Chains A and B, each alone.
Chain A
Amino acid sequence: MSAFSVTNVSPGQKWIAGILVAGYALITILPLVWIVATGFKSSADSIAYPPTLLFEPTLEGYVNLFTTQTRQSPEVLAANPPQTWYDGIVHERGLVIAGPSRFGERFMNSVIIGFGSTFLSVFLGTLAAYAFSRFKVPLKDDLLFFVLSTRMMPPIAVAIPVFLMFRSLGLNDTHAGMILLYTAVNLSLAVWLLKGFIDEIPLEYEEAALIDGYTRLQAFYKVVLPQAATGIASTAIFCLIFAWNEYAFAVLLTSGTAQTAPPFIPTIIGVGGQDWPAVAAGATIFLLPVMVFTILLRKHLLRGITFGAVRK
Chain B
Amino acid sequence: MAEVELAAITKNFGRTCALDGVSMTVPDGAFVVLLGPTGAGKTTTLRIVAGLERPESGEVRIGGMPVTSLTPAQRNVAMVFQQYSLYPHMTVRENLAFPLKSPQLRTPPEQIERKLREVAEMLQISHKLDNRATALSGGEMQRVSIGRALVRNPAVYLMDEPLSSLDAKLRADLRVELKGIQAEMGATFLYVTHDQTEAMTMATHVGVLDRGRLVQIGSPREIYENPISIYAASRLGQPRINVLPADLFAGAPAGAKTIGLRPEQIRQGEGEDSIVTRVEHLGDQTRLHLSFRHHALVTVTDPHTALRSGDVVRIRPERPFYFDASGARVH
Where the two chains meet, the residues of A that have a C-beta atom closer than 8 Å to any C-beta of B are 202, 204-205, 207-216, 218, 223, 226-227
Contact, CB under 8 Å: A210 / B73: yes
Q: Which residues in B have their C-beta under 8 angstroms from that of A205?
A: 84-85, 87-88
Q: Using a Cβ cutoff of 8 Å, how many contacts connect chains A and B? A: 60
- B103 CB contacts on chain A under 8 angstroms: 213-215, 218
- Distance A204 CA – B99 CA, assembled complex (angstroms): 15
Residue of chain A at shortest CB distance from B83: A204
Residue among A209, A210, A212 facing the most chain B CB atoms (10 A cut-off): A212
Asked if B16 is at the interface (CB within 8 A of a chain A CB), the reply is no
B contact residues, range? 20 to 34
Which DSSP category, helix, strand, loop or mixed, fits chain A's interface? helix
Q: Which residues on the A side are within 8 Å of B304 (C-beta)? A: none
Chain B 62-89 interface 0/1 with A at a Cβ cutoff of 8 Å (1 = within)? 0000000001110011110101110111
The yes or no answer to B249 lying at the interface (CB within 8 A) is no
Cα(A213)–Cα(B325), bound, Å: 49
The answer to whether A210 and B85 have CB atoms under 8 Å apart is no
- 5 smallest beta-carbon distances between A and B, as pairs: A213-B102, A213-B104, A212-B99, A210-B72, A226-B89
* Cβ contact within 8 Å between A227 and B105: no
Q: How far apart sit A303 and B51, CA to CA, in the bound complex (Å)?
A: 35
CB distance from B154 to the nearest CB of A (A): 9
- With A and B bound together, what is the CA distance between A245 and B232 in angstroms? 69
Enumerate chain B residues within 8 angstroms of A216, measured Cβ to Cβ.
Answer: 71
Task: Determine the distance from Cα of A110 to Cα of B182 in the docked complex, in whole angstroms.
Answer: 63
Bound CA span A214–B73, Å: 6
Across the interface, which residues of A come within 8 angstroms of B87, CB to CB? 205, 208-209, 223
- Given A202, A212, A215, A227, which contacts B98 in the complex, CB threshold below 8 Å? A212
Residue of B nearest to A205 (CB): B87
Q: With A204-B81, A204-B83, A218-B103 as given contacts, are A211 and B88 in contact (CB-CB < 8 Å)?
A: no
The answer to whether A227 and B79 touch across the interface, beta carbons within 8 angstroms, is no
| CB of B143 closer than 8 Å to a CB of A | no
- A211 adjacent to B84 (CB under 8 Å): no
Residue of A nearest to B98 (CB): A212
Contacts of B84 in A (CB 8 A): 202, 204-205
**Measured between alpha carbons, how far is A215 from B103 in the docked complex, in Å?**
9
**Hey, which chain A residues are within 8 Å of B51, CB to CB?**
210-211
Chain B nearest CB: distance from A249 CB in Å?
38
CB pair A215 B71 closer than 8 Å:
yes
Q: Please measure, in the bound complex, the distance between the C-alpha atom of A213 and the C-alpha atom of B50, giving whole angstroms.
A: 11
A211 touches B79 (CB 8 A): yes
- Closest chain B CB from A212 CB (angstroms): 4
Q: Contact check: which of B50, B71, B81, B89 meets A227 at CB < 8 Å?
A: B89
Please, could you name 27 A-B residue pairs with CB atoms under 8 Å apart, sorted by A?
A204-B84, A204-B85, A205-B84, A205-B85, A207-B50, A207-B72, A208-B85, A208-B145, A209-B87, A210-B51, A210-B52, A210-B71, A210-B72, A211-B51, A211-B72, A211-B73, A211-B78, A211-B79, A212-B98, A212-B102, A212-B148, A213-B103, A213-B104, A214-B103, A215-B71, A218-B103, A226-B89
List the A residue with the shortest CB-CB distance to B74: A213
Give Cα A204–Cα B79 distance, bound, in whole angstroms.
11
Minimum CB distance partner of A216 in chain B:
B71
- With A204-B85, A207-B52, A215-B73 known, 4 other A-B pairs at CB within 8 A are A205-B85, A207-B50, A211-B50, A216-B71
Question: A141 vs B224: C-alpha distance in the bound complex, in angstroms?
Answer: 51
Interface pair A213/B88, CB less than 8 Å apart: no
Which of B72, B76, B89, B148 is packed against the most chain A CB atoms within 10 Å?
B72
In the complex, chain B residues 41-71 whose Cβ is within 8 Å of any chain A Cβ: 50-52, 71
Partner of B105, one of A202, A213, A218, A223: A213
Interface centre among B51, B79, B87, B145 (most CB of A within 10 A): B87
A63 to B145, CA, bound (A): 62
Residues from chain A with Cβ under 8 Å of B50 in the complex: 207, 211
CA distance A62 to B31 in the complex (A): 77
Distance in angstroms between the alpha carbons of A218 and B73 in the assembled complex: 11
Could you tell me the distance between the alpha carbons of A218 and B52 in the complex, rounded to whole angstroms? 16
Kindly state the separation between the CA atoms of A207 and B145 in the bound complex, as whole angstroms.
13
